[in-house]
């Protein structure tokens, strides 16, 4: 029996982004606070194996925490940026809650300016593909995040 491969840094960062979207979704739906949800994810979800052999990747805990904290701290700014990127008749309050969580997680990274905007956009489009593999949502996410990135970090374009 072979040992499972340890995920590389990029895989861990990608997993952290996926977990951040899930955690933000959970916070909105359950009303739980950031500390409670963060502890739950770090304790019970990072690297968990399932009966069907699937295993969730170990997430980059630092990026996960920073994304959650940033999304909570900057939520009003991120939501305003998202609203400006959306069609006037579809404010952020009317969109799918998974997309809302995704925009907040990505927005936190765009506002914090630690990763290049193109990396953030690509990573969160991939997250959208995980949640909506057959839909048009990944293209929608790409367009909205491009608009948000240009607003948050115009110097990068």
Domain locations along the chain: 9-156
Q: Quote the pTM value.
A: 0.89
Sign of CA dihedral 94, 100, 104, 106: negative
Superfamily of chain region 9-156: NusB-like (1.10.940.10)
Q: Mapping DSSP to helix (H, G, I), strand (E, B) and coil, where does residue 121 land?
A: helix
Tell me the pLDDT tens digit for each residue of 78-98: 999 999 998 766 778 889 999
Tell me the pLDDT tens digit for each residue of 16-70: 999 999 999 999 999 999 999 999 998 888 876 544 555 567 889 999 999 999 9
Tell me the pLDDT tens digit for each residue of 1-10: 555 566 688 9
């Amino acid at each position: 029996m072979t040992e499972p491969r340890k995920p590389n840094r990029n895989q861990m960062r990608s997993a952290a982004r996926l977990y951040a979207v899930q955690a933000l979704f959970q916070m909105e739906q359950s009303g739980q606070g950031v500390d409670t949800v963060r502890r739950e994810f770090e304790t019970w979800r990072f690297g968990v194996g399932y009966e069907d052999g699937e295993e969730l990747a170990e997430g980059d805990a630092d990026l996960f925490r920073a994304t959650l904290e940033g999304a909570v701290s900057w939520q009003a700014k991120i939501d305003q940026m998202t609203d400006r990127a959306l069609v006037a008749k579809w404010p952020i309050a009317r969109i799918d809650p998974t997309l809302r969580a995704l925009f907040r997680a990505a927005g936190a990274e765009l506002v914090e300016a630690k990763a290049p905007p193109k990396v953030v956009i690509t990573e969160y489009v991939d997250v959208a593909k995980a949640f909506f593999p057959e839909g048009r949502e990944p293209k929608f996410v790409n367009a909205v995040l491009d608009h948000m990135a240009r607003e948050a970090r115009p110097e990068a374009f």
